Amino acid sequence: MTGIGRAETVAGDAARAVTWERRLNTPHDVWAVFLQSHKRDPHVHVGDVHAPDAEMALVVAKENYTRRDPCVNLWVVRAEEIHATTAAAAEMFEPGIDKSYRFGGSYRKQKQVYQSAWRLSHRDEDQ
């Protein structure tokens, strides 16, 4: 590190981190609830509950979110512990190189174009 001290580098890293990462500003008693409907399904965020501790949050979440829908597992996480990217960081998720050829959708679209062109070239009135 020529010309830059360790403290300056750490401060620079912290400044960059602040621009793309933020902590949710929620009260201490808010818990995010994640529900798993079936054994192999992923956990999905279904809402939030207010509770003083994790045990009570699970009880309240069970009462609120598992009455009508199937459930095999519940997670509760303090909402203030959830970190998210900022809206300004959306460009970070843009792909660096166009690799749309990897997606099957382009093949399906190409097939539709060829089929419609074939139909147009083989109309009854042209025969």
pLDDT of residue 58: 96
Residue 103 lies inside a defined structural domain of this protein? yes
Assign residue 61 the CATH number of its domain. Answer: 3.10.20.520
Residue 97 lies inside a defined structural domain of this protein? yes
pLDDT of residue 105: 63
Domain extent for 98: 22-126
Residue 11 lies inside a defined structural domain of this protein? no
Residue 52 lies inside a defined structural domain of this protein? yes
Count the domains in the chain: 1
| Nearest in space to 24 (alpha carbons), one of 32, 16, 35 | 32
Residue 40 lies inside a defined structural domain of this protein? yes
Q: What share of the chain is helix, strand, coil (3-state, %, to 5)?
A: 50, 20, 30
Residue 100 lies inside a defined structural domain of this protein? yes
Q: Does the pTM of the predicted model rise above 0.75?
A: no
What are the tens digits of pLDDT across the range 53-101?
999 999 999 999 999 889 999 999 999 888 888 888 887 777 777 766 6
Residues 6+ apart with CB under 8 A from 25: 80
Question: Which helix (H) or strand (E) element contains residue 115?
Answer: helix 104-121
Residue 10 lies inside a defined structural domain of this protein? no
Residue 5 lies inside a defined structural domain of this protein? no
